[in-house]
Chains A and B, each alone.
Chain A
């Protein structure tokens, strides 16, 4: 006769499930239910309030016939690519340099990490002034005597998006650096020593051993920064207000203005679905490949 399982043990078995259930329910409702709801709205004729009829893909056609949406999609790719590339590269470089057992490392690390403590609204407003040709960098250089110096990217529709990249990189590089630095500190010194005994130079050690070993750090940095890139809403509003001439429109700002300012809830929902699909198309395969290899024992 099997021994009856004591109540306490049964409870202990159920505890993890019990604890996880509320958060699982919240995620189900607050994330997946609303994704489904947004999908439904995007197929309806909703304007000022949600309407539960069915108009097929009309809102998607309308969305893709809006020039501002094309600008927004192009900007998302320009911004994300440059932002991720520059932030990761610069962050890694700074982490490697800081890792050379230099003096005042603590102070420098704090200084580099500090912009992260600011909200994007503050960053955006500060850079709006720094980049303004009549107030910031251009005026400073002009006043120093170089009167023909021009730096008015923020007023140029074709260059304004790079101003957003500059501000976002400034804000997030310290964060990438901190994660890489933690990764570097976690690498066993004996591996490096072994490589040195084998006669590998420092650049070779970094290129072939250390950077590949930082792979988990890369995963964290890329996933976290992609999410910063997609939600860069507040930075855009503070820095350029989607201007000049909608040149710095992003899918997130487009979605907000369609839904809440222009009473085009259907178009807003369609743009939100497009954003979701874009993000999923990029992030899901990346996560899959990274996590799959981990499971295989790498």
Chain B
């Protein structure tokens, strides 16, 4: 008997033992997390699942801002082989719930009192009619400004209190040879600035009316023209090489001191932290300037497809319970850079930006000033949010007038209705 054969035999004899030790129910999850930090964060959930007796089968489909995963999901559902667990971004989950494809989590929500633990605005993305179909793990904030502290000090500027001041500070940054705003000509990066302006300049109620309710009078109003006027002033504040720049490359320009600031969601924070920079010391995080504080969110939620298999259903329940576990939410979000979806957890141990986000969220909930981000797909269905990107992206790179842009917006939205 060769050594190899001995080894094989030994392994074969060990197998029954090994499989007994991990006689776990397998549960498959399709998601879009492929970057190092995301994978590490997901491991918090899957480790918890393992202690509950379930083995996570990972199906990660990255790329194209989640479009590849959506395509994979559509193909699998069409083939009658949906994944047990699916990550839902924006309206994706509501769409499937509307098709009656998702399993209800009402019993779990009722038993654990989860409804009260989540921000009310968030519920609309995990509930269709009266059926809860998903559980949220985290929340990102969209309307942040990320700034390089040393550059701000050198230019003699402090965090601005209005968009006019922010745009004016651009001249001071230019004077010391720094690019005022790090950005790209990609439509969505311009839209991040645009949507912050809509709520900051005209207030969160206007944002709700124009962008979430798609009210035609609000969309065509002079207030909207004003927003485009303001956005037009940002045209001179970027560098020539902004074509097709990745958001993380723009964040790095701020981190390196080549640029003064970036308007981006709090996923940008990870780039600073990865360089060992500290919030408040090396870089600044502050909400986009406004007289009417507001909070724009996006989130990650997981739901399960209807599958006739008791074991799979147990696993789907276990995933929901693991996700809503306060300890899991805390550990997950410390790695991911977002804040827990639950409003009843302690923020001790988080960094200052996350603490600020958590405190601002509580205030926004109280003031009814919290709405989903349109750029990231949490304000309106994709066929409408796409129109905002089209118009804003075109407006910024051409000499389109504000009035024409507003008209294009109204026409585009009406066409998609």
Contacts and interface: CB of A to CB of B under 8 A. Distances in A.
Contacts of B240: 133-134, 152, 155
A264 B416 contact: yes
Interface stretch (A22-30, A63-71, A203-211, A221-229): A63-71
B393 A245 contact: yes
Interface string A42-81: 0000011110000000000010011110000000000000
Contacts of A49: 74, 77-78, 99
B168 to A, nearest CB: 25
B243 interface: yes
A166 to B, nearest CB: 15
Interface in B252-290: none
Given A241-B186, A260-B70, A263-B95, A247 B397 contact: yes
Interface stretch (B129-137, B343-351, B379-387): B379-387
Interface string A224-268: 000000000000000111011111000000000100111110000
Interface SS of B by simple majority: helix
A239 B71 CA distance: 22
A262 B386 contact: yes
Interface string A182-225: 00000000000000000000000000000000000000000000
A48 B70 CA distance: 10
A154 interface: yes
Interface in B70-114: 70-71, 74, 77-78, 91, 95-96, 98-99
B243 A246 contact: no
Contacts of A241: 186, 244
Interface residues on A, range: 20 to 34
A15 interface: no
Interface in B382-417: 382-383, 386, 390, 393-398, 408, 411-412, 415-416
Contacts of A246: 187, 390, 393-394
Contacts of A133: 240-241, 243
A217 to B, nearest CB: 37
Contact of B382 (A65, A240, A245, A261): A261
Contact of A244 (B241, B397, B412): B397
Nearest to A240: B244
Contacts of B99: 48-49
Contact of B390 (A50, A68, A155): A68
Nearest to A125: B244
A243 B187 contact: yes
B95 A155 contact: no
B360 interface: no
B185 interface: yes
Interface string B170-199: 000000000000000111000000000000
Contacts of A48: 74, 95-96, 98-99
Nearest to B395: A245
Nearest to A237: B64
Given A134-B241, A261-B67, A243 B386 contact: no
A135 B241 CA distance: 7
Given A48-B96, A48-B99, A246-B187, A128 B390 contact: no
Nearest to B245: A132
B397 A263 contact: no
Contacts of A47: 95, 383
A85 interface: no
B239 interface: yes
A89 interface: no
Contacts of B415: 62, 65-66
A124 to B, nearest CB: 10
Interface residues on B, range: 35 or more
A67 B408 contact: yes
Contacts of A239: 244
A152 B238 CA distance: 15
Nearest to B239: A134
A199 to B, nearest CB: 56
Interface string B296-338: 0000000000000000000000000000000000000000000
Given A48-B99, A261-B386, A245 B394 contact: yes
Nearest to A61: B415
A263 B382 contact: yes
B81 to A, nearest CB: 15
Contacts of B416: 62, 264
Given A245-B185, A246-B390, A261-B67, A132 B397 contact: no
Contacts of B390: 67-68, 246
A128 B397 contact: no
Interface string B222-266: 000000000000000001111110000000000000000000000
Given A66-B415, A134-B241, A263 B393 contact: no
A264 B383 contact: yes
Given A49-B74, A67-B408, A263-B95, A132 B386 contact: no
B71 A260 contact: yes
Interface string A126-144: 0010001111000000000
A264 B198 CA distance: 26
B360 to A, nearest CB: 30
B243 A262 contact: no
A262 B241 CA distance: 29
Nearest to A242: B187
B394 A157 contact: yes
Interface of B: 67, 70-71, 74, 77-78, 91, 95-96, 98-99, 185-187, 239-244, 381-383, 386, 390, 393-398, 408, 411-412, 415-416
8 closest Cβ contacts across the A-B interface?
Answer: A134-B241, A245-B394, A244-B397, A48-B95, A245-B397, A244-B185, A262-B382, A245-B393
Interface of A: 47-50, 62, 65-68, 128, 132-135, 152, 154-155, 157, 239-241, 243-247, 257, 260-264
16 contacts: A48-B74, A49-B74, A66-B415, A68-B390, A133-B241, A155-B185, A155-B243, A244-B243, A244-B393, A245-B394, A246-B390, A247-B394, A260-B67, A261-B70, A262-B383, A263-B381
Given A239-B244, A243-B186, A243-B243, 14 more contacts: A48-B96, A62-B416, A132-B241, A133-B241, A135-B241, A155-B185, A155-B240, A155-B242, A240-B243, A241-B244, A243-B244, A245-B393, A245-B396, A246-B187
